[in-house]
Amino acid sequence: MAPEGSAICDNCDEILDTSFLGLDEVTPVEGEKTDVGPAPSGSRMPDRLRKGTGKRPGGWNPSPSAALIAEPRRPYLSEPVSPTPSPADEARKAAADLSSFFRSLSPADRWGSGASALLLLMLCFPWRWTREDEEVIGVVAAWPVLLLAAAVLVLIYLRARRADAAQDRTFRLAQLAAAGGAAVFTGLFLPWATRAHALRAVGRSIAVVESEPLFGAYAGLVCAVAALFATLLSRRES
């Protein structure tokens, strides 16, 4: 039900009176015949809606409802505004994508990527002890391992993106070279980090330790050998 004199319905915005638009309407002759049937006979709008209020006949609604003022209008059938994801949601989505990518790999590539990731983690631990500098972390003491382990992860990712046969063969050779280089470097790091100085006193010799490898170097060697072994298995699967 629309209030008397309203030109637009408060509920559905239907135009009840088009006189305020200033359009010239052609009134057809009563009963005139057309190709689609008899012509319509005048407007069927009730007279009570055309009388107006006396001040503005056929004008706009005098007082809009409070709900229409408080809530902005939205076009019909428009797409709903998606909420902005929070940093926690983005982190969960990134973790889910990484987990899905890891499950899509072959068993050998899973072992290779996992061992390479652990090798990168081991670089955060001390790899070498020296008398001058005390403990030195692996990123500083064995930084080439960081590049080689990261190269293994990148090559596994590139192969998983459905590279063609020629590219896959090239990537596998490069992965083997990177994994082998990491294993050789960590293997040579242990004797290189072990240094001692012999002193002779009172008829006997005393070994004074100058530097020695720490736990991180041994754990890194295990991870590097595991990555190399997994790379060899992936070549057999191909």
**CA geometry: angle 11, 14, 16, nearest 5 deg:** 115
Q: Name every residue whose Cβ is closer than 8 Å to that of residue 136 and which is 6 or more positions away in sequence.
A: 126, 127, 128, 129, 130
Q: What is the residue range of 173's domain? A: 108-237
Q: What is the pTM of this model?
A: 0.59
CA distance 1 to 104: 62
Residues 128 and 73 in one domain: no
Question: Is residue 180 assigned to a domain?
Answer: yes
Residue type, 182: A
3-state DSSP assignment of residue 126:
strand
Q: How far is CA 178 from the centre of its chain?
A: 28
Whether 227 is in a domain gets the answer yes
At 30, is the pLDDT very low, low, confident or very high (cuts 50, 70, 90)? low
Contact between 214 and 144 under an 8 Å Cβ cutoff? The reply is no
Same domain, 230 and 127: yes
To the nearest whole number, what is the mean pLDDT of the chain? 78
Residues in a beta bridge with 118: none
The answer to whether residues 112 and 229 belong to one domain is yes
Q: Does residue 2 fall inside a structural domain?
A: yes
69-99 per-position pLDDT tens digit: 555 565 555 566 677 888 888 888 888 888 8
Of 66-75, 118-127, 186-195, 201-210, the one with minimum mean pLDDT is 66-75
- 149: alpha, beta or left? (left if phi > 0; alpha if psi -120 to 50): alpha
Phi and psi, residue 40, nearest 5°: -65, 150
Residue 88 lies in a domain: no
Q: What is the mean pLDDT of residues 138-160?
A: 92
- Please tell me whether residues 227 and 140 are part of one structural domain: yes
Do 51 and 152 share a domain, yes or no? no
Same domain, 117 and 217: yes
* Beta-bridge partner residues of 198: 207
- Answer whether 185's CB lies under 8 Å from 237's CB: no
Same domain, 145 and 51: no
Residue among 231, 220, 118, 125 nearest 178 (CA): 231
Indicate if 74 and 117 belong to the same structural domain.
Answer: no
222 assigned to some structural domain: yes
Asked whether residue 87 is assigned to any structural domain, the reply reads: no
For residue 132, the model assigns a pLDDT of: 86
Cβ-proximal residues to 185 (8 Å cutoff; 6+ apart), any chain: 142, 144, 145, 148, 224
217: pLDDT strictly greater than 80: yes
pLDDT at position 154 over 60: yes
Q: What is the pLDDT of residue 202?
A: 63
Q: Are residues 34 and 113 in the same domain?
A: no
* pLDDT tens, position by position, 227-237: 999 999 887 77
- DSSP single-letter state for residue 195: E
Domain assignment present for residue 94? The answer is: no
Is residue 164 domain-shared with residue 74, that is, in the same domain? no
Point out the domain boundary residue: 38, 59, 79: 79
Same domain, 52 and 153: no
Same domain, 118 and 232: yes
In terms of DSSP H, where are the helices of 125-195?
A: 138-141, 143-160, 165-193
pLDDT cut 70: percent of the chain above it: 72
In a domain, 97, yes or no: no
Q: Where does the pLDDT of residue 59 fall: very low under 50, low under 70, confident under 90, or very high at 90 and above?
A: very low
Q: How many domains, the chain?
A: 2
